[in-house]
Amino acid sequence: MAGKHSKRRGAHAQIPAQRRAGIELVDARSGLAHQVRAEQLRAGQARGDYQALCGARLLAASLTDPGHGQCPECASGVIR
């Protein structure tokens, strides 16, 4: 007997997550969110500046800052 809360077969299919290259950091100067690779994150920790996938050098904003958009080059996955 199928009620309104019955589960259909295949309803719990897994949706593959998109893999991103590293993490997203917001640049305090421009307000744009950039993608930074893990090795670049470790390399920049001592100085506090990081190199994004697009090649831009950025100063990390507060982790609570949502930013004002996303870098188009980082979003497309272009590595420079």
Residue 14 lies in a domain: no
Residue 10 lies in a domain: no
Residue 41 lies in a domain: yes
Q: Measured on CA atoms in the order 60, 64, 69, 72, is the torsion positive or negative? A: positive
Res. 78: pLDDT tops 70: no
Predicted confidence at residue 37, as pLDDT, reads 92
Predicted confidence at residue 9, as pLDDT, reads 61
Residue 9 lies in a domain: no
Predicted confidence at residue 4, as pLDDT, reads 67
Interval 20-35: pLDDT, tens:
558 899 999 999 999 9
Residue 37 lies in a domain: yes
Residue 4 lies in a domain: no
Res. 2: pLDDT tops 70: no
User: In whole numbers, what is the pLDDT of the chain averaged over residues?
Assistant: 81
Predicted confidence at residue 31, as pLDDT, reads 93
Residue 7 lies in a domain: no
From residue 17, alpha-carbon distances to 14, 20, 71 in Å are 9, 9, 21
Range of the domain at 49: 23-76
Of 76, 62, 54, 55, the residue nearest 25 (C-alpha): 62
Q: How far is residue 72's CA from residue 34's CA, in Å, rounded to a whole number? A: 9
Residue 33 lies in a domain: yes
| Residue 29 CA, distance from chain mean position | 18
Res. 10: pLDDT tops 80: no
Provide the domain count of the chain. Answer: 1
